[in-house]
Amino acid sequence: MFTSKTRLRIAVQKKGRLSEKSQDIIRSCGIEFGNGSRVLKNEAYNFPIEFLYLRDDDIPGYVYDGIADIGIVGRNEAAEKQFDVDYIRDLGFSKCRLSIAVPNSFPYNSLEDLQGHEIATSYPNILRACLDERGIKAGIHEISGSVEIAPAIGLTDAICDLVSTGSTLISNGLKEVDVIFRSTAVMIAQKDLGKKDPEKQKILDRLLVRMDAVMKARDYKYIVFNLPTDHIDQVSKIVPGMKSPTVTPLYEKGWSSVQTVVKEDDFWDVFEALKKIGAQGMLVTAIEKMTI
Ligand code: ATP
Ligand code: MG
């Protein structure tokens, strides 16, 4: 039943690598709320959602149990916990990989070389699935932190740990030899949320419309430049995707000002192609929100 008190409950990491960016993405949707570093729970001021601030390990389980309706967590953590939840968006941030690393002196050619060895990890389920798939028998030592010191203290011969730059491995005399899982932050939801609570689903849909606009905008740049009017018809061939550029005549005869958007990844190719057809004075700005 609809009551104006219905709030969508979102679980985010209280403190750690995900916590700031998880809150940032919600704030960038125009949703205002207080700082979650000292509280367990708070409500947004201008949108019907409330936050639960948790350890990231607990987020998949709380979403599965329905204590939280949705959550933001690393794909690695969600996969490890194996709860049956819906993956609703890949948020793109907190990129990392779950990798096998061995001491520099270990003669490693392939995963099969781990046969009969001991591997320390905080991700036993993901690692076991990977080893089973290849028919490799190795011991898995589950430890909850500082996995990278396991070989140096004689606990195991290899590790399987999260890596982003690889500098922690190097400073511990280890080499990264195989990537077994790639991760980014994802938004997960309780299974069948819409059937269980249509009002919450409506709130989630509103949130997703905003989030998609913000995330799409991050992939694009807004560009403005001057171009000889004769060359305007070439612009849409160079800048595909958008319907058509906005063209305004300049005071100087024969010249126009053109406004359009470009995918960030294509920017330099587009820039060079536009220069070739005579574009001048280009201004490039970030876009805050974008809809189709
Ligand atoms: P918590 O106290 O909430 O349990 P934690 O120590 O388990 O925190 P963090 O180190 O804050 O977790 O990492 C959270 C997530 O950030 C990871 O699960 C992963 O998805 C992502 N991440 C990105 N880069 C790295 C990295 N280099 N090392 C570890 N995690 C990373
Ligand atoms: Mg954790």
57 Cα: distance to centroid of ligand 2 (angstroms): 5
pLDDT at position 243 = 72
- Asked whether the predicted pLDDT for residue 118 surpasses 90, the reply is yes
pLDDT in tens, 131-148: 999 999 999 999 999 999
Instruction: Report the alpha-carbon angle 33-34-38, nearest 5.
Output: 140
Pseudo-torsion of CA 215, 219, 225, 228, nearest 10°?
-120
pLDDT at position 3 = 52
Residue 1 pLDDT class (50, 70, 90 cuts): very low
In this structure, what token pair is assigned to residue 79? 């996969």
| Strand-pair partners of 247 | 258
pTM above 0.85, yes or no: yes
The arrangement of secondary structure in 220-286, i.e. its CATH architecture, is 2-Layer Sandwich (3.30)
pLDDT in tens, 208-250: 999 999 999 999 999 999 999 999 999 988 987 667 789 999 9
pLDDT in tens, 33-58: 998 778 899 999 999 999 999 999 99
| Strand-pair partners of 159 | 101, 120
pLDDT at position 239 = 87
Burial 130-149 (b: 16+ CB within 10 A, else e): bbeeeebebebbebeeebbe
Closest ligand 1 atom, CA of 19?
11
In angstroms, the Cα distances linking 262 to 93, 258, 275, 280, 283 are 21, 12, 15, 16, 12
Query: Identical fold at 8-93+185-217 and 220-286?
Result: no
16 Cα: distance to centroid of ligand 1 (angstroms): 7
The CATH fold of domain 8-93+185-217: D-Maltodextrin-Binding Protein; domain 2 (3.40.190)
CB of 56 closer than 6 angstroms to any ligand 1 atom: yes
CA distance 35 to 82: 30
How many residues does the structure list for the chain? 292
| Strand-pair partners of 181 | 98
206 Cα: distance to centroid of ligand 2 (angstroms): 29
CB of 19 closer than 6 angstroms to any ligand 1 atom: no
Under a CB-based contact definition with an 8 Å cutoff, are residues 94 and 185 in contact? Answer: yes
Q: Where are the domains of the chain?
A: 8-93+185-217, 96-183, 220-286
Under a CB-based contact definition with an 8 Å cutoff, are residues 153 and 132 in contact? Answer: no
CB of 60 closer than 6 angstroms to any ligand 1 atom: no
Q: Does domain 96-183 have CATH number 3.30.870.10?
A: no
263 Cα: distance to centroid of ligand 1 (angstroms): 30
Closest Cα to atom 28, ligand 1: which residue?
A: 162
Determine the residue of 94, 181, 187 to mutate for testing ligand 1's pocket, defined as the one with the most ligand atoms within 8 A of the Cβ atom.
94
CB of 57 closer than 6 angstroms to any ligand 1 atom: yes
Residue 112 pLDDT class (50, 70, 90 cuts): very high
- Asked whether the predicted pLDDT for residue 204 surpasses 50, the reply is yes
Closest CA relative to residue 108, chosen from 200, 178, 52, 171: 178
Ligand nearest to the backbone CA of 76: 1
pLDDT in tens, 59-89: 999 999 999 999 999 999 999 999 999 999 9
